[in-house]
Chain A
Amino acid sequence: MNPLIPLFVVIPLAGAFLIMILGRFIKDLNKYLTSLILLILVVLSIYSLLITGKNLSLYKVGGWEAVNKIPIGIYMVMDGFTVIVLCIINVVGFLSAFYSISYIKRFTAENYFYALFCLMVAGMNGVVLSGDLFNIFVFLEISVISSYALVAFGVEKNELEASFKYQVLGGLASFLILFGIAFIYWKTKTLNIADIRQVFASGYDKKFYLFVQILMLSGFGLKAAIIPFHAWLPDAHSSAPSPISAMLSGVLIKAVGIYVIIRLFFNMFAISEGMAILITTLGTLSMAIGVFLAIGQWDIKRLLAYHSISQMGYVVLSVGIGMIIISRGGRPEIAALAIAGGIFHLINHAAFKGLLFLNAGAIEYTIGTRDLKEMGGLAKMMPATSATSFIASMSISGIPPFNGFFSKLIIIIAAVMGRFYLLALLAVIVSIITLASFLKFQRYAFYNKTDEGNKRNIREVPFPMIFSMVIMSILCVVLSLLVIPGIREAILTPAIDILMDPVKYSTSIIGI
């Protein structure tokens, strides 16, 4: 029993409650309390990252012990992969909350904003920590319902329309997931991920297994906005307030989408070649189509949202290559390298995409528009925003020495070593198109000369916004240290081990 685990859910839930009750009476409590809560969670998650290593710790909710080695309570599990995603959620969450202190002043009802923000963080922490299928569904709904409300927070025409679209597709995804859970419970009579693995290991019906896998992939694929399911993402992510866009794009699609797909397909289902090829195909499609949809956009946040689809494609593609190699019985080092590339890119994407959305928010905050054609020459007036967004743009396009370069390099090396030459070539081409797209962003937003007259009174954004952007840009540089052998083995390798080993996850949970 690890007593730290429930704190990740309890603290933000309690925070949301307190903000709603006390926020009415005490002015300015909401913003400082939210930042404080997220700061505590950052400390806790980094502490967990340092102590977890290769261990796997459990928390049994309500103290229900296993009977005859069959788990009956709700299990919360913390392992190498979980803590990485926890760190992403809480660090990006803290910086977005701190950024909101200045940004959210132009909205009314700040209490609701911060309460929903805390709920969203609680839901995502819960999804990541949960070792129980239905619990994943409950926490997922907590986080996505609060994100529906946050997308509609501006209550103007565009925000409401985006939120409606998001809700219809998100609702559909939830039913597909619930259907999948019902089918799994029907056949296995258990909801614990480790236990389901054990039951499936003793034999299953092939057609049924495939059907459940497809249900789960389409349900969580809708949440993760992989390409055939991506229709809601550009609207929702561009209409939300900017710190929320940073949370949605930087964290939410990973925590409730990609993370759960990886967890289920590696640790719950046995890896089969057909599914591995399907996942790789979806990843390749997202990577290629996302970037082509992005290149023609003139709204900054829409451009960034389409790039999210494309970058998530890299993650899915790389994990899929790892799955294909494992299922064909290829060399495990190459599979491990591919999965490492995927997880590394997942971490990096949180840093640079979060930063880019915060930059977009800063631009919108000062000049009040998101249209690239109406900007220009902002580099002189907003040096901090310009510098940080330059770092983020170079990072997402894979220019050394920033973090995006290293993760893309690992993915491409893994693809070449696994003899997927076409995919490696495609990854390089997509990266070049990404660079072109971000050079356009840089040029039109910061360097192009426009009419000087009405740009005189533009000033740099306030301190909390600059602070968040600078920390994020430092992260963009520092995260590239993860490729150095000593650090890589301490942080990335435990996550890969738990995914690569087909029985370690289930046996160690059942054993405790």
Chain B
Amino acid sequence: MIVYWLCFILFLVGLYGLITRRNLVKIAISLSIMEFSTFLFFALVGYIEGGVAPIVNPADPVKIYVDPLPQALVLTAIVIGLATTAMMMAVIIRLYRKYGTFDIREIKNLRG
């Protein structure tokens, strides 16, 4: 059970960073931490105590396999996460060129 709570704490660490940090890159890193805590949780969902990788061999007496589906899903989600992070970094670089700073307090054209 403790691993699930650790996952949740990791999520909260990311959320704390997202709320308190002022630097654009650190915000992106906080988002990545949250993202990976979610992935870790998803991968743990498929874990079964004492299970092995699901390569089915009729001759093998092992009967307990871990659930392979969450692993496939997490792989897909990691690829999506990569695209999101790359997109965000591209925007951050452009923002730095326009404003000359990473400080989010300086970037406030849009109000109201």
Report the separation of the CA atoms of residues A155 and B91 in the bound assembly, to the nearest whole angstrom: 9
Within 8 A of A (CB), among B45-96: 45, 67, 69-70, 73, 76-77, 80, 83-84, 87-88, 91-92, 94-95
Partner of B45, one of A148, A167, A175, A182: A182
Check if B84 sits within 8 Å of A162, measured CB to CB.
no
Report the separation of the CA atoms of residues A189 and B46 in the bound assembly, to the nearest whole angstrom: 9
Interface residue? B107 (CB, 8 A): yes
Partner of B42, one of A149, A164, A171, A178: A178
A residues near B, CB below 8 A?
Answer: 134, 137-138, 141, 145, 148-149, 152, 155-158, 160-165, 167-168, 171-172, 174-175, 178-179, 181-182, 185-186, 189, 235, 239, 296-297, 302
Report the separation of the CA atoms of residues A232 and B88 in the bound assembly, to the nearest whole angstrom: 15
Q: How far is the CB of A200 from chain B (nearest CB, A)?
A: 17
| Residues in chain B near residue A168, CB distance under 8 A | 18, 27, 31
Q: How far is the CB of A124 from chain B (nearest CB, A)?
A: 16
Interface residue? B109 (CB, 8 A): yes
Check if A164 sits within 8 Å of B24, measured CB to CB.
yes
Interface residue? B101 (CB, 8 A): no
Check if A182 sits within 8 Å of B110, measured CB to CB.
no
Closest to A158 in B: B109
Report the separation of the CA atoms of residues A220 and B49 in the bound assembly, to the nearest whole angstrom: 33
Partner of B110, one of A138, A161, A175: A161
Check if B45 sits within 8 Å of A161, measured CB to CB.
no
A148 with B112: in contact, given A164-B24, A168-B31, A186-B45 (CB under 8 Å)?
no
Report the separation of the CA atoms of residues A285 and B62 in the bound assembly, to the nearest whole angstrom: 56
Partner of B95, one of A161, A172, A297: A161
Main secondary structure of the interface of A (DSSP, over half): helix
| Residues in chain A near residue B45, CB distance under 8 A | 182, 185-186
Interface residue? B99 (CB, 8 A): yes
Within 8 A of A (CB), among B22-42: 24, 27, 31, 34-35, 38, 41-42
A182 with B31: in contact, given A152-B91, A164-B88, A171-B84 (CB under 8 Å)?
no
Check if B98 sits within 8 Å of A175, measured CB to CB.
no
Check if A138 sits within 8 Å of B87, measured CB to CB.
no
| Residues in chain B near residue A185, CB distance under 8 A | 42, 45, 69-70, 73
A174 with B92: in contact, given A161-B107, A185-B70 (CB under 8 Å)?
no
| Residues in chain A near residue B88, CB distance under 8 A | 164, 167, 171
Closest to B15 in A: A172
Main secondary structure of the interface of B (DSSP, over half): helix
| Residues in chain A near residue B91, CB distance under 8 A | 148, 152, 160, 163-164, 167
| Residues in chain A near residue B83, CB distance under 8 A | 141, 145
Closest to A151 in B: B91
- How many pairs, one residue from A and one from B, have CB atoms within 8 Å of each other in the complex? 87
Closest to B95 in A: A160
Q: How far is the CB of B103 from chain A (nearest CB, A)?
A: 13
Closest to A302 in B: B112
Check if B94 sits within 8 Å of A155, measured CB to CB.
yes
Q: How far is the CB of A152 from chain B (nearest CB, A)?
A: 6
| Residues in chain B near residue A141, CB distance under 8 A | 80, 83-84
| Residues in chain A near residue B73, CB distance under 8 A | 134, 185
| Residues in chain B near residue A178, CB distance under 8 A | 38, 42, 77
A167 with B84: in contact, given A160-B94, A160-B98, A172-B18 (CB under 8 Å)?
yes
A145 with B84: in contact, given A138-B76, A160-B98, A163-B91 (CB under 8 Å)?
yes
Q: Which 9 A-B pairs have the closest CB atoms?
A: A182-B42, A141-B80, A186-B45, A235-B110, A175-B38, A160-B95, A178-B38, A171-B31, A157-B98
A145 with B87: in contact, given A168-B27, A182-B42 (CB under 8 Å)?
yes
A171 with B35: in contact, given A148-B87, A164-B95 (CB under 8 Å)?
yes
A175 with B76: in contact, given A157-B109, A164-B92, A185-B70 (CB under 8 Å)?
no
Closest to B98 in A: A157
| Residues in chain A near residue B38, CB distance under 8 A | 175, 178-179, 182
| Residues in chain B near residue A179, CB distance under 8 A | 11, 38, 41
Check if A175 sits within 8 Å of B70, measured CB to CB.
no
Q: How far is the CB of B82 from chain A (nearest CB, A)?
A: 11
Closest to B35 in A: A175
Report the separation of the CA atoms of residues A181 and B69 in the bound assembly, to the nearest whole angstrom: 13
Report the separation of the CA atoms of residues A160 and B88 in the bound assembly, to the nearest whole angstrom: 10
Closest to B31 in A: A171
| Residues in chain A near residue B42, CB distance under 8 A | 178, 181-182, 185
Report the separation of the CA atoms of residues A32 and B80 in the bound assembly, to the nearest whole angstrom: 30
A161 with B109: in contact, given A149-B87, A167-B84, A178-B42 (CB under 8 Å)?
yes
Report the separation of the CA atoms of residues A172 and B18 in the bound assembly, to the nearest whole angstrom: 10
User: Can you pick out 24 interface pairs between chain A and chain B where the beta carbons lie within 8 Å of each other?
Assistant: A134-B76, A138-B76, A141-B83, A149-B87, A152-B91, A157-B98, A160-B91, A161-B107, A164-B95, A164-B107, A167-B84, A167-B87, A167-B88, A168-B31, A171-B35, A174-B84, A178-B38, A179-B38, A182-B41, A182-B42, A182-B45, A185-B42, A189-B67, A239-B110
Closest to A185 in B: B45
Closest to B4 in A: A186
| Residues in chain A near residue B108, CB distance under 8 A | 161
Report the separation of the CA atoms of residues A152 and B92 in the bound assembly, to the nearest whole angstrom: 11
Q: How far is the CB of A292 from chain B (nearest CB, A)?
A: 13
Closest to B8 in A: A179
Report the separation of the CA atoms of residues A255 and B91 in the bound assembly, to the nearest whole angstrom: 25
Q: How far is the CB of B23 from chain A (nearest CB, A)?
A: 12
| Residues in chain A near residue B87, CB distance under 8 A | 145, 148-149, 167
Check if B109 sits within 8 Å of A172, measured CB to CB.
no
